[in-house]
Chain A
Amino acid sequence: MNKKRARAVILLLVLALIAAACSSGTTDTTSGDASPATTAAGGTTDPEPTETTAATTDEPVVVRAAVTGGEDTLNPYTYVSGFPGWNMLMLQYDSLMQFDVNGDPQPWLAESVETNDDLTVWTLTLAEGVMFSDGEQLTVDDVEFTFNYFTEKAAGRFARDLRGVESVTTDGDRTITITLDAPNPAFDLVALADIPIIPEHIWSEVTDPEEHQFDSVTNIGSGPYVLVDYVEDQSYRFEANPDYFRGAPAVDELVVVVFADDSGPLAAIRSNEIDVIFERISPEQIDLLDALDPIDISQGPEFTTQMINFDVTKAPFDDIAVRQAISKAVDRQDIVDTVFLGAATVGSPGWVHPEKAVYNPAVAAERDVAGANALLDEAGYTDSDGDGIREFSGGPMSFEMLTNSSDSLRLRIAELVAEMLAEIGIEVTVSSVETATWEEAVWPGFDIANGRNYQMAVWGWSAPVQANTIRVAELVDGNPDIGFLNLTGFSDPAVDAIAEALLTEADPAVSAQQIGELQVLIAEGVPFVLLAYPDGAYAYNSAVYDGWEFIAGQGIVSKLSLLDASARP
C-alpha cells in the first residue's frame, strides 16, 4: 500500500510538470495587429527557388535567421549589442541617411543633405510620403523630436552621436537645419546614418524609456519591417511593411531565432532549420559550409580588429623600445594564415584598415626579430641569468596575457603571440578567463579613469570604431574626455595634437593628410599592437533567399539585403 502511495505521488508530480510545461509559452505569442501575411508553417520547409524577384511569386518568402544571444525588445533603448542588435533595430526604423554597399552614407529619409563650408550647419530635405507602420506620417517634427529626445533621455550611443548638436530647427514641411557647435566632418556617418527616427506621437508619452517596457506591437517605426512577435531568448518575427517608402521588401517575413551559443546556428543551418546566420562564422567553418549544396558564403573585409593591449603606464611597457620590439616581433601574416586561415586582413600598425582611402601604406608592418632583439639589447633589457628571459627593473620580463574564453580565435592568437615573443626573450603566460572578467580587468567599470588591472591582453574593437577614421582620437588621446577608449593609457602630445585637430577639420584634403601623419606616429608610438582585421563571413541558404548584400566593413545584416535591388541606395 505504501508503495502505491509513493507511486501515486510520483505520477501526480510528473503530470503536474507536463501540464505546467504545456500551458506556458503560448502566453507570449500575442500576434501582431493587422497582419495580412500568412504565417508559413515551421519545421521542415521545402526550399523554394526564389530570387530577389520573389515578390511576384505567390508563395511568401520567409527567411529564418539565427543570432547568438537575445537583443531584448529591440527598441532604441533596449537592444543589447552593437552588432547584430543595432542592425536588427534598424530593420524597423530608418535613419536620415543610409549606408550603401561601400559603407558610405547616402540620402535616405532625407532626400538631400547639404552643409555649409565649415561643416557646422547641415540642411536636410525630408523625403515625401514616409509613413510609420501605424499609418501616421513621418514629419520634420518627428526628426526634431528624435534628436531632442535622445539627447534629453540619454540614449547611450545615440546621445553620444548627438553631442555637439547646438540646435535643430524645422522650416516648413520638409526642411530641417542642424547646427553644430564645431565642425564635424563625420556627422553624416556617425549621426545621420546611425540614429533611428522615432515617432513623436508614441514616444512623447514615455518619460522613462529605460524602464518603460515596450512590447512587440509598440515598436513602431518607418522601416521595412514590423516586429510582430517576440519571445525572450527564443525568437523574433518581423513582417514586411508593404507600404515601405522605398517599396515593399523582397523578403515577406523574417524570423530571427535566438541561440544560446554559436555552435547551435551551425548545426541548424545544416539541418535546414534556419536559412542564414546573422553572426560572423569562424574561419574553419567557411569552406566546410560552402561545400554544402544550398549553402553559400558571403565574405568580405570588415572593420573589427584584433590587437594586443598592454598597460603603457607601467614598466616595462612605458618604454617605447619594449612596445616597438613587441610590434616588430609579432608575425601578423602568420596570425592571419594560421588563426584566420587567410580570412582576414593583416593588421596595420597605424590602426587604419588598408581598405580605407586614407590608409597610409608607409606604415606597413614587417616582421623583424633581429631588429626587435637589438632594440631590447640597446635599451638595456638583457638576460643576465641565461634562462632565455630578459630582465627589467621589476624582475624577469614575464607577463600574463588575458584573453576571453568564449573566443577560441583570441585564445589561439594569444598562444601564437606567446611563441613569437619568446623569440625576443619575453615570456608570456596566457590566461583565458570568462568574458566579463576579462573586460573588467582591461576596462574596469568601462571607464578608463578607473585604471587598468592587466599586463597584456588580446583585445578587439567593434566595427564602428574603425569605420569612422576620425574616431582614432578616442583610442589614443591622452585626455580621458577625448580618448575615452584609450585602454592602454597611452599619452603622446604630438599624437594628441593631430588627433584633436582631426576631430574638427572641415577640409577633406587636410584631414586626409593629418590621418596619414597620425598613422606614422601611432606606428612609432605603439599604443597597442594591431594584429588583424578579421573578414566577415556569413552563411546562408541560397535556395531560400540569395539577395544578401555585403556592406563594406559591416556585413550582410542590414535592410539593404532584404530590399529589392532597385530600392537600394
Chain B
Amino acid sequence: MKRLDLSKLGQYVIVIIVAVTLNFALPRLMPGNPLALIAGVDVGLLTAEERAQIIEDVGLNEPILNQYADYWVSIATGDLGQSYRSGRPIKDIIAERLPWTLLLAGGALIISSFFGIILGAISAWRRGGKADVPLLTGMIALQSLPSFWLGMLLISVFAVNLGLLPSFGAISPAANYEGWEYFKDVLEHAILPIVTLSVLSTPGVYLTMRYSMLEVLGEDFIRTARAKGASERRVLFGHVTRNAIAPVVTFLAIRFAFSFGGAVIIETVFSYPGLGRLVFEAVSGRDFPVMQASFLVFTAAVLIANLIADLLYPILDPRTRAA
C-alpha cells in the first residue's frame, strides 16, 4: 500500500476540511428559516420572546464561528445532534435511512454494471457493427431521460395500469410482515426504484466500458497477442477486458457514491424512506443539523468510493502499482 502515501493522505484531509466547511455553510447560505420547523404549527402565532427562546434553545443565536466549531466537535465525537423536526438523535435517523438507500444504490450498481459492462464489451468488440450503433444510440437516449419522469412513467405502467408492483414506500404500510414475507415485500417495493436508478446509470457504465475497450483494442499488445495465435476468446477475456476494466471500476465506485445524490429524486418520486428522502425533507424545512449530517454522509460516500477506487486500481492494473 505504498501508493497511499502522505501526499495522497494530505489531499484527502484537505478535501474533508473543505467539504465539511461547505456542509456547514450551505444550509446557512440558503434563504429561509428553520423556525417554522422547530416551532411547528402556526409559527406566526408565537410572540417575539417565544421565537427568541426557540432560536436560543437550538443554539442558532450563537456566533457563527462557535456554531462552526461545535459542528467539528460533533463530527469528532460522532454525536451529530438532534433533528429540529423530530427531536430525535440524527445518528439513529441516519442508521434507519442509510440501509434503504444502500439497497437501492447497491441494487442499481449490480444491475447497471452487469448490463453496462457486457453491452459495452459487445459494442466495442464489434465496433460499428449491427449491435454497436443501435446500442450506442439507445444508451445515449436513456442517459438523457430525466429521473423523475422515468420514475413516474414506471409507476404509471407497472403500478397503476398493470397493478403488478407497489408504487410507493419500502414496505407495505403497517403490514408487519416477518421472515420470507418481509423479504418479498421489501423486494417488491425496491424493484421500480432500482430499475429507475439502473436505467439511468447503465449508459455511463456502457460508455466508459466501450471507450476503454476501444482504447485497449488499439494497443500493441493486442496485436502481439493475436500474432501469437491467441484465440479470439482469449484475446477478448484475457487481454482486452482485463485491461479495460480498471477505468470502469473507478467509474462504478464514483457512480455508486453519486447515486446517493440521485436518490434524492428517486426516493421522493417513490416516497422511499431512504437518505435522499431525509435530505429532501430536511432541506424543505431547513433542518440544519440533519442537512449537515446527511451531506456529511454523502461526502463520506464519495471519499470512500474514491479511496476504494484508489486501492483497487493497482490490483486491477499492475502497471499502476508503485515500483
By a beta-carbon cutoff of 8 Å, the part of chain A in contact with chain B is 2-3, 5-6, 9, 13-14, 17-18, 20-29, 31, 39, 41-44, 64, 69-70, 72-73, 77-82, 85-86, 154, 156-157, 160, 210-211, 213, 229, 231-237, 255, 257-261, 263-264, 267-268, 270-273, 434-437, 439-441, 443-447, 449, 484-485
Contacts and interface: CB of A to CB of B under 8 A. Distances in A.
B103 interface: yes
Interface string B125-158: 0000000000000000000000000001001100
A449 B51 CA distance: 12
Contacts of A29: 174, 176
Contacts of B277: 233, 260
Contacts of A434: 32, 284
Given A24-B100, A29-B176, A73-B86, A447 B182 contact: no
A368 B205 CA distance: 62
For chain B, which range describes its interface: under 10, 10 to 19, 20 to 34, or 35 or more residues? 35 or more
Given A14-B106, A445-B51, A22 B45 contact: no
A86 B32 contact: no
B41 A156 contact: yes
Contacts of B249: 6
B42 interface: yes
A25 B274 CA distance: 11
A22 B281 contact: no
B175 A439 contact: no
A446 B175 CA distance: 40
B85 interface: yes
Name the 9 nearest CB pairs between A and B, nearest first.
A436-B32, A42-B172, A235-B173, A42-B175, A21-B103, A17-B106, A237-B174, A160-B45, A20-B99
Contacts of B109: 14
A484 B100 CA distance: 43
Given A267-B159, A437-B30, A441-B31, A261 B271 contact: yes
B315 A6 contact: yes
Interface stretch (B70-78, B161-169, B213-221): B161-169
B48 A267 contact: no
A39 B176 contact: yes
Contacts of B168: 257, 259, 264, 267-268, 273
A22 B183 contact: yes
B301 interface: no
* Residue among B41, B86, B171, B183 facing the most chain A CB atoms (10 A cut-off): B41
A18 B103 contact: yes
B100 A14 contact: no
A264 B45 contact: no
Interface string B17-50: 0000000000000111101110111111110101
A199 B108 CA distance: 49
B33 A22 contact: no
A279 B176 CA distance: 26
B99 A24 contact: yes
A503 B6 CA distance: 73
A268 B46 CA distance: 37
Contacts of A232: 86, 88, 93, 96, 273
B242 A156 contact: no
A271 B166 CA distance: 8
B302 interface: no
26 contacts: A2-B318, A6-B312, A14-B109, A17-B103, A17-B106, A18-B103, A21-B186, A25-B171, A31-B176, A41-B175, A79-B41, A80-B41, A156-B41, A232-B273, A233-B281, A235-B169, A263-B269, A267-B152, A270-B160, A271-B159, A271-B160, A437-B30, A439-B32, A445-B35, A446-B33, A446-B44
B267 to A, nearest CB: 7
Nearest to A272: B163
Nearest to B48: A447
Contacts of B318: 2
A229 B174 contact: yes
B271 A273 contact: no
A259 B271 contact: yes
B86 A234 contact: no
Contacts of A44: 163
Given A437-B32, A446-B35, A213 B88 contact: yes
B99 A21 contact: yes
A153 to B, nearest CB: 11
B174 A24 contact: no
A235 B166 CA distance: 15
Main secondary structure of the interface of A (DSSP, over half): mixed
Contacts of B178: 26
A447 B174 contact: no
A260 B278 CA distance: 10
Contact of A70 (B51, B267, B281): B281
A440 B285 CA distance: 12
Nearest to A258: B271
B303 interface: no
Contact of B99 (A14, A17, A73): A17
B122 interface: no
Contacts of A263: 152, 269
Contact of A260 (B37, B86, B166, B268): B268
A255 B273 contact: no
Contacts of B156: 267
Interface string B280-294: 110011100000000
Contacts of A17: 99, 102-103, 106
A272 B163 CA distance: 8
B286 A257 contact: no
A21 B40 contact: no
Contact of B31 (A268, A440, A446): A440
Nearest to A233: B273
B199 interface: no
Contacts of B195: none
A88 to B, nearest CB: 12
Nearest to B32: A436
Nearest to A160: B45
Given A79-B40, A233-B281, A22 B271 contact: no
Given A81-B41, A156-B39, 5 more contacts: A22-B186, A25-B171, A80-B41, A210-B87, A234-B173
A232 B278 CA distance: 10
B100 A445 contact: no
A236 B173 CA distance: 8
A255 B169 CA distance: 14
Contacts of B152: 263, 267
A229 B167 CA distance: 22
B242 A3 contact: yes
A260 B43 contact: no
A439 B175 CA distance: 38
Contact of A28 (B96, B103, B272, B278): B96
Contacts of B48: 447, 449
Contacts of B267: 260
Nearest to B93: A232
B167 A267 contact: yes
B185 to A, nearest CB: 8
A458 B185 CA distance: 43
A255 B174 contact: yes
B15 interface: no
A156 B45 contact: yes
A109 B173 CA distance: 32
A479 B286 CA distance: 30
A260 B264 CA distance: 11
Nearest to B42: A157
A78 B46 contact: no
